[in-house]
Amino acid sequence: MSNNNASVVSKTVGHADRRWLFHGLGLTVVVIVLAIIFTLINPRFATINNLANVLTQASHIIIISVAMTFVITSAGIDLSVGSLVALVTVIGFALIKSGLNPALGVLVMFVLGAGIGCFTGVLIALVKIPPFITTLGMMVSLRGLALLHSAGNMLYGLPPSLTWLGQGKLFGVPVPVIIALATALFGAWLFNHTKFGLHVRAIGGNREAARLAGVPVNLIEILVYGFMGLLAALGGLIMIARIDSTQATIGTGMEIHIIAAVIIGGTSLFGGRGSIYGTVLGAILLAMMTNALVIAGVDHFWQLVIMGFIVLLAVAIGNLRESRFPALATLKRRGR
């Protein structure tokens, strides 16, 4: 891509960065204020052990949400992530239990996750099936494959070298939190400081303009979904290492939490703009709310109801931020 074309792409995606920075700062304040409120309601919330527990519970959501930020910023969506987690974990777990070296078992999980993600990307980029339909079909198919592979049985008993990834501590910090932080930092670098991240934002902002500017649109889309599959495998590994078990129903409904974290974090559902920092805060915010509701003794079904309303509220706020409501857009035009 020429320097002139690169400049065009940079201008296409760069103007709204300050607005998204302010959103991240605002979300930081919201997280701090909510933490104070939850502590005032129940002092147990602010204990070191509970806060570490919140971050540990959020770790796999943070990891997978980092990749979902890329997907949604590219104007895509992935509804299959929970089913993908189920399939790669039951296959990897079964291989390790059968005597395969744990490191090779983990490698199989990563390759399988990335491969399935790339296949999804091919269906979207080359076969031109819309992302919603593609990933909806993959969600059902992958869940079915997971059920077929495990026959619905629960698998348990990982070697200590793997359970340490989910239950261990390093310098007093839970290992899942360290892995989630490292993933978020890598994702932020990839998103904000590489051509890949720039191209992802350009595709989401204006696919045709990006193509005319020389961006390899199809390749980038395939790589985005491949990255999604890779981090889904990593997040799934952390999940099964924490609970030392897996089954074909693991990850059911996970995509809702992940999409909610990304949207709450300020990533535009319509593509073109996103924030890894905001996504991490969104995941932590959801984990905090879930934890506070559990401490308060709120029924699990009511937690689902509240989560659904949070997703709707996040999208509505996103629409307000981008003037997606026709009435508001009309008022703005009249104001000019």
Tens digits of per-residue pLDDT, 137-191?
A: 999 999 999 999 887 788 888 899 899 999 999 988 999 999 999 999 999 999 9
Q: Let me know if residue 314 belongs to a domain.
A: no
Q: Let me know if residue 304 belongs to a domain.
A: no
Q: Let me know if residue 333 belongs to a domain.
A: no
The pTM score is 0.87
Model confidence over 263-282: pLDDT tens digits? 888 888 888 888 899 999 99
Q: Which of 36-50, 105-119, 224-238, 245-259 is least confident?
A: 36-50
So what's the pLDDT on residue 26? 72
**Domain tally, the chain:** 1
Residue 47 pLDDT level (bands cut at 50, 70, 90): confident
Q: Let me know if residue 78 belongs to a domain.
A: yes
Evaluate whether 93 touches 159 at the Cβ level (below 8 Å): no
Q: Let me know if residue 308 belongs to a domain.
A: no
Give Dmax (Cα) for the chain. Answer: 70
Angle between helix axes 217-243 and 175-193 (nearest 10 degrees) is: 170
Q: Let me know if residue 318 belongs to a domain.
A: no
So what's the pLDDT on residue 79? 95
CATH number at residue 31: 1.10.3470
Q: Let me know if residue 317 belongs to a domain.
A: no
Q: Let me know if residue 326 belongs to a domain.
A: no
For the chain, the average pLDDT equals: 85
Residue 311 pLDDT level (bands cut at 50, 70, 90): confident
The domain containing residue 270 runs over which residues?
3-297
